Chains A and B, each alone.
With several copies, the nearest count.
Chain A
């Protein structure tokens, strides 16, 4: 019996037992129940400690004992200590105990959930109504308020057409007229730019990077300026070779650091990287020569 008491002291919520006026009586009742259990189900469990734990669980499961008066954490600790001390585990018993513990945990959480549900309040109206009919001057007011609170709502949002209209074919045609004129102009400009790019000795070349940072920045900037402020893919700024792509990439990082542009990528990590100009400057202030590139970028 000492074993049972020992286990019970660990398993029961001390507060629940000790703060209770009927603590003595209840402990006595528990112990009596445990004793009865000893003659019942858990005879098969030989180990006195395991038998005591099983009996305590049985209190909850078979005798509708409050599941929250079983301290599952304390039990777990107790059982683990025993396993460690013994060095042997009876898996059949352990399995049974775990199953019982799980059931108790479930009971505990069910009860918690039940307590967490907000109490069912009657519609506020009824509590008002209890105050007396005098709050409403006419029966109609009472009826109206009751109708509203019961969900007979006389309001619904007006449904109208979206204030947008489809574009007409005529507009598409007019837009086409304008687009063709503008496209012709754009194409001329593009041809001029390409001619400039081809003739000017401005290709990034195979110089050692860092020596001509300002030149790299200026050239990259001039290409960005061609975009009129819209977002452009990084790839569109460097169309020659891998070396140029690297040079432009580095220049773009500098420009971003200098807050001349913003960079963003769609669909990280493999999406297209876009460059958007945020500065209106036409020419860039040269980066001071004495300032190493690393410092500017830092």
Chain B
């Protein structure tokens, strides 16, 4: 057994990103040893052109399918997030901060369940605002989608580009479609 192997086994079996300290604690290896092993492993996987990569995402390390191979691997593994939840999270990511009541208008009442599920996965955060909740993407959102971005605006930009909409300037939010412009005569909703 090598120290590098122990770290490799940890990454493989965890199935989620791990902090250096987490690995050190669970394996009994010194933090510096873990860090060096991770870097060596990342390099080794890279050099031999493996379909697997050891990547650092948001301060944590993970073992994952290299992006090029992601599509090929789809046949064997169901995505971690059901399609329905994925759609709702995309809307939240684009319109954030968005009120739950506005989201309900966009996706129907299933929004309530989706918000709960996404919050449990830490993909979004909720904050009570008046009668409703204000929703934003959470800390693990970028990690979850393997995004290199570390701020919400960049994510919005990516989505806006996708939608063929001009990317909103940093700091401004795309207007949620419940605003008077998109739905004439719609009264502001009070319900949660």
- A residues with CB within 8 A of B: 124-125, 128, 135-138, 140-141, 143-145, 147-149, 151-173, 175-180, 182-184, 186-188, 190-191, 194-195, 226-228, 230-233, 235-239, 272, 274
Q: Which B residues touch A226, using CB under 8 A?
A: 109
Q: How far is the CA of A166 from the CA of B53 in the complex (A)?
A: 14
Interface residues of B in 97-154 (CB under 8 A from A): 104-110, 112-113, 131, 143-147
Does B2 belong to the interface (CB within 8 Å)? no
Q: Are B159 and A135 in contact (CB under 8 A)?
A: no
Given contacts A140-B174, A154-B162, 12 further A-B contacts (CB under 8 A): A144-B165, A147-B165, A153-B163, A157-B144, A160-B146, A165-B77, A165-B78, A166-B64, A167-B79, A168-B70, A230-B113, A233-B112
Q: Which A residues touch B79, using CB under 8 A?
A: 156-157, 164-167, 171
Q: Which A residues touch B12, using CB under 8 A?
A: 159, 161
Contact with A along B151-192 (1 / 0, CB 8 A): 000000011111111101000001101111011111101111
Q: How far is the CA of A139 from the CA of B85 in the complex (A)?
A: 24
**Nearest residue in B to A154 (C-beta to C-beta)?**
B162
Q: How far is the CA of A155 from the CA of B121 in the complex (A)?
A: 15
- B residues with CB within 8 A of A: 9, 12-16, 62-65, 67, 70-71, 73-74, 76-81, 83, 86-91, 93-95, 104-110, 112-113, 131, 143-147, 158-166, 168, 174-175, 177-180, 182-187, 189-192
Q: Which A residues touch B67, using CB under 8 A?
A: 156, 168
CB distance from B152 to the nearest CB of A (A): 14
Q: How far is the CA of A155 from the CA of B160 in the complex (A)?
A: 11
Q: Are A166 and B146 in contact (CB under 8 A)?
A: yes
Q: Which B residues touch A140, using CB under 8 A?
A: 160, 165-166, 168, 174
Q: Are B186 and A190 in contact (CB under 8 A)?
A: yes
Q: Are A137 and B93 in contact (CB under 8 A)?
A: no
CB distance from B83 to the nearest CB of A (A): 7
**Nearest residue in A to B186 (C-beta to C-beta)?**
A191
Known A164-B80, A167-B81, A191-B185: A186·B163 in contact at CB below 8 Å:
no
Q: Which A residues touch B62, using CB under 8 A?
A: 158, 160
Q: How far is the CA of A166 from the CA of B62 in the complex (A)?
A: 11
Q: Are B106 and A124 in contact (CB under 8 A)?
A: yes
Q: How far is the CA of A148 from the CA of B88 in the complex (A)?
A: 8
Q: How far is the CA of A155 from the CA of B147 in the complex (A)?
A: 9
Q: Are B162 and A161 in contact (CB under 8 A)?
A: no
Q: Are B76 and A163 in contact (CB under 8 A)?
A: yes
Known A128-B105, A148-B163: A191·B146 in contact at CB below 8 Å:
no
Among A153, A164, A167, which residue has the most Cβ atoms of chain B within 10 A? A167
Q: How far is the CA of A124 from the CA of B159 in the complex (A)?
A: 21
Q: Are A176 and B162 in contact (CB under 8 A)?
A: yes
Q: How far is the CA of A161 from the CA of B191 in the complex (A)?
A: 28
Q: Are A191 and B106 in contact (CB under 8 A)?
A: no
B14, B163, B192: the one within 8 Å of A163 (CB):
B14
Known A156-B71, A160-B16: A230·B91 in contact at CB below 8 Å:
no
